[in-house]
Structure 1
Amino acid sequence: MTAPEVIATVIGIVAAALVVLSQHGLGARNTTQTPARGGVMGHRTKPSRRHQISYAAPEKYRLVITYPGQQRPRRFSTSDLARARSVARRNTANGAHVDFQIHRGWGTYETTHTYTPEPTP
């Protein structure tokens, strides 16, 4: 192969590679175009629109339930006081040690009651 033929072959390979890259959006970008999303270069949406604020009530009550011989305690959370009490009663009757906790804000809980298993007759 002569030098002009090698150069022509290399130019053909590079041109084919650029076509493939541009089809997949990986080629050089034209910086004179405006961005696809909304107008001004460097514009960002407001922080309040990027992250949705959750107004759901936090789980107000948490039960830490430990059965004898268990490796890790179970955790049960709810915002319904009646349901929390019934779950605590049911697990205590089945032989579990239950810590009743109330949410105090910022992910902290305060243990208000500790229930021990009922003795079997």
Structure 2
Amino acid sequence: MYPVDLKYTPEHEWVRTPGDTEGSVRVGITHYAQDQLGDIVYVSLPAVGDAVTAGSACGELESTKSVSDVYAPVDGEVVAVNESLDTTPELVNSDPYGGGWLYELTPTDSGAVDGLLDAAAYQETIGE
């Protein structure tokens, strides 16, 4: 349920290296997070070119239950956003590790991703 090739944050984001853009990483939310949120109805993402800071809110996911912040996993610059979520936000629920990705960023420190949680450590944080 939690792919071992990804890195994770305690705030329930995942990071895939590499992203589609050279030097970037792809960011999304975990299966656990989308399950807790319920049906996603609206996604607000940072804009391409935005600088994001690790641990800071950079977007929002609105569900039928609540609104939840999306946090940056590492410092960097946003280089791509998943525009398909504008019309089909439910992809975050149905395919959180594939078509439901959120954005890509180029990390300021290329080693920062290595300091994130692996799948086993993330599962411990959520009690699974």
| TM-score of the alignment, normalized to the shorter chain, above 0.5 | no
Larger Rg, first or second structure (1 or 2)? 1
Structure with more strand by fraction:
2
Task: Tell me which interval the TM-score lies in, with the shorter structure as reference length.
Answer: under 0.3
Query: What is the TM-score normalised by the length of structure 2?
Result: 0.21
Query: What is the TM-score normalised by the length of structure 1?
Result: 0.22
Structure with more helix by fraction:
1
